[in-house]
Structure 1
Amino acid sequence: MVGRIVTLVLLALLALIHNQLWLGDGGVARAQALQAQIDAQQKANALVQQEVDRLRSEVQDLKDGNEMVEEKARGELGMLKPGEIYIQITQ
């Protein structure tokens, strides 16, 4: 009789522990959801890091030489060198 009660108590505790493991706030489903969020954030971080690297490269080009400054002036500001003629071709 005592052995049966001990067995039932142990089974109830085991069921409670498994319930918390699979269905509780810190359970397997929550861990999987958090891992999915981590994966998505890492992908977003990688995209942002690529943009940061591109901008760092551009800043370094601007610091190192005048070619990038000239390219920016021509492309974004429409500036010309003395004696140049601006021709725009539209299609």
Structure 2
Amino acid sequence: MRVFTAILLILLVLLQYRLWFGKNSVPDYLALKENLLHQQSANEKLRQRNKLLYADTDDLKVGLEAIEERARNELGMIKENETFFRLIPKDDGNRN
């Protein structure tokens, strides 16, 4: 009976060792779970960026307002018969 108990005890210790320190152990599981949370948050940020890009491309395909806005902001273009005014801030000379 003592031999049987000793064998069961050794088996229990070996199983516990694999559970806590072996391959695919509890610490490995917790690290993978944390990595999964980081990846899910990164994926959500990318989904939001993709939604903005899809909306922007749809707007460019459908409407001329977005094209005009981009031409004005990024290229500095103006319409025909418009007057361009550039406002330069006044320099007070009080810089330190």
Give yes or no for TM over 0.5: yes
Query: 2: CA distance between counterparts of 1:36 and 1:88?
Result: 52
Query: 2: CA distance between counterparts of 1:55 and 1:87?
Result: 32
Could you list the per-position Cα deviations for residues 9-39 of structure 1 after superposition, in whole angstroms to 9, with x for gaps in the alignment?
0100010001100111211000000000010
Return the offset for 1:85. Answer: 1.3
Of residues 30, 44, 51 in structure 2, which corresponds to 1:32? 30
For the aligned residues, what is the CA RMSD? 0.9
TM-score, normalization: structure 2? Answer: 0.89
Of residues 6, 9, 12 in structure 1, which corresponds to 2:7? 9
Partner of 1:18: 16
Distance 1:8 1:45, change over 3 A: same
TM-score, normalization: structure 1? Answer: 0.93
Partner of 2:74: 76
Structure number having the greater helix percentage: 1
SS in 2 for 1:35: helix
Query: 2: CA distance between counterparts of 1:67 and 1:58?
Result: 11
Query: 2: CA distance between counterparts of 1:88 and 1:7?
Result: 91
* Structure 1 unmatched runs, 5+: none
Return the offset for 1:87. Answer: 1.4
